[in-house]
Amino acid sequence: MNFDLLMDGMAVVLSPQVFFYILLGVAGGTLLGALPGLTATMGVALLVPFTFALPVESGIGMLLGIFQGAMYGGSIPAVLIRTPGTPAAAATALDGYPMGQKGEAARALAMSLYSSVLGSFIGVFAMIWLSPQISRFALKFSTAEFFCLAIFGLSVVTSISGRSLVKGMMSAFFGLLLCCVGSDPISGYARYIFGNMQLYEGPPFIPTLIGLFAVSEVFAGIERSGAVEKVKNVVKTALPSKADAISSLPCIIKSSIIGTIIGAIPGCGGDIAAYVAYGDAKRASKHPEEFGKGALNGIAAPEAANNGVVGGAMIPLLSLGIPGDAVTAIVLSAFTIQGMQPGPLMYVDHLEDVYYIFAGMFVACFLVYIVGVVGMRFFVKLISVKKNFLLPCIMIMSLVGAYAMRNSIFDVYCALFFGVVGYLFQKKDFPLSPILLALILGPMAESNLRRTLIITDSSFSFLWDRPICLLLVVLSLVSLGISLYNQKRIAKNELAQQLRTVETDGE
């Protein structure tokens, strides 16, 4: 680690303008994360267009703030109305909501903020130490290794496929075929553009993802719009008591490390980390019977873990240029639009940018705490905002975001089109995240595969002849295995949670 560069990055991040945009990002991310039903993916997709017109430092800073804020924000409605703001906060609801029912919502929210911030810091530390080592190794990569790396990234599809693996794979292949629309990366021949030159560069990426993740959610929200749950608890403070802070510290540190490790594995997102950490905390507890009824460590563990994931997920993103999940895929695309290309070469050509990101993540962690403490009462009120005003506003923000990219109405049509596609896909149980992952990794896979096959005279022997390729193929298979195992585990936990909910409602 280069301490001087980290200090230089810190100097940029702490300049008033950049600091302001990071703060804005954290506040916006927390706000959208706190709105029940709006996932962190949607929040990040919705706010990303706001970063385009900003100078690079401010844009990236705001983006990091959005990412950190959205991960934390999900815990607020999980505690107050048993509706996690993000899937990663689902495990937090197990003990957070019962604490709220006992009149201890303030204590639960304070613990969720405290453990989230500590989890984020530990994740960021791990990212700073580990990502340069991995990128140094990745510098040995040629086109063959990059193709295998894309395959490794795509192996994540199994873990984000939802209930049906076959449908997840169909979504992924649909996304990969979408990547073929536009100019051929080698010959420049226009494929599947139907005479529309606006498609020559392929479907516009940001409008596509805004459509898939934001517009489709608005349609779904309108369809199920109903009564808004009122918050009964009064929250006066967001600071944990000294006793709570000390007693939960070992659990938080352990869970943060779990979250960071899981986050660094592509495809293993915050939801998996939260459940694994929750299970571990329960096993390690002297009073496991209290879990599910309002145990403090039942909040600390999943929150520390799902925020540790942020730093962990940035490790493969920065060092290898492969996103671990849908949120990091959006962050990667926004980095690219800002002129940054995460991956091993970034550590050679733009090392100062890497350290700037490290510094930005640190400051964003700190600001999550400030925003959480200052804005807690506001976020609590926000949960009660009527959806029938919120949803059209989100739709407008989505359309404006799509327009802002190139000042093009065509992009707005694209956002609407993919919004309808996303809505139908979700309704019929076809997951959307594999499409996003395919849109990111598809072009990387195609161009590198074709270049490799030209060099090897159309032979696929590079897959086993080259040690790194072989390693990546094996890792892809291991990742597939782990993902399938975790998928079963999550399904089991969800079933248990549903049963618990039914029991609680019955009482």
Partner 1 sequence: MKSTPQGFWVNVISALLGIGICVYVWITSGHFPEDTFNLIDSAYFPRMLSGGLLMFSWLLLINTVVFRKPDVMEPISLRNPGTVKAALICVFTLVYILLLKKIGFIIMTTAYIYGVSVFIGNRKWLSLLVYTLLFTAAIYFLFKSLLGINLPPGLLKGII
Note the residues at the interface with partner 1 (CB under 8 A): 50, 52-54, 163-164, 166-167, 169-170, 173-174, 176-177, 180, 184, 186-187, 189, 191-192, 218-220, 222-225, 386-389, 391-393, 395-397, 399-400, 403-404, 407, 409, 412-413, 416, 419-420, 423-424, 427-430, 446, 449-450, 453-454, 458
Compute the distance between CA of residue 257 and CA of residue 126 in angstroms, rounded to an integer.
Answer: 9
Smallest separation, CB 258 to partner 1 (Å): 31
193 or 475: CB nearest partner 1: 193
Smallest separation, CB 486 to partner 1 (Å): 20
266 or 431: CB nearest partner 1: 431
Specify whether the CB–CB gap between 434 and 329 falls below 8 A: no
50 or 278: CB nearest partner 1: 50
Smallest separation, CB 175 to partner 1 (Å): 10
Smallest separation, CB 183 to partner 1 (Å): 9
101 or 408: CB nearest partner 1: 408
Smallest separation, CB 47 to partner 1 (Å): 12
- The burial of 343, by beta-carbon neighbours within 10 Å (0-12 exposed, 13-18 middle, 19 or more buried), is given as buried
Compute the distance between CA of residue 69 and CA of residue 244 in angstroms, rounded to an integer.
Answer: 23
257 or 414: CB nearest partner 1: 414
Compute the distance between CA of residue 316 and CA of residue 338 in angstroms, rounded to an integer.
Answer: 19
Specify whether the CB–CB gap between 383 and 77 falls below 8 A: yes
Half-sphere exposure of 251 (CA within 13 A, CB side): 31
Specify whether the CB–CB gap between 275 and 302 falls below 8 A: yes
Structure tokens at 464: 């086993």
Specify whether the CB–CB gap between 376 and 30 falls below 8 A: no
DSSP state of 190: E
Classified as helix, coil or strand, 191 is strand
Smallest separation, CB 259 to partner 1 (Å): 30
Residue with structure tokens 């700073």? 128
Smallest separation, CB 351 to partner 1 (Å): 29
Compute the distance between CA of residue 6 and CA of residue 219 in angstroms, rounded to an integer.
Answer: 44
Smallest separation, CB 252 to partner 1 (Å): 36
Distance of CA 187 to the CA centre of its chain: 34
286 or 428: CB nearest partner 1: 428
Compute the distance between CA of residue 459 and CA of residue 466 in angstroms, rounded to an integer.
Answer: 13
366 or 413: CB nearest partner 1: 413
Strand partners, 190: 183
266 or 419: CB nearest partner 1: 419
For the chain, the maximum distance between any two Cα atoms, rounded to a whole number of angstroms, is 70
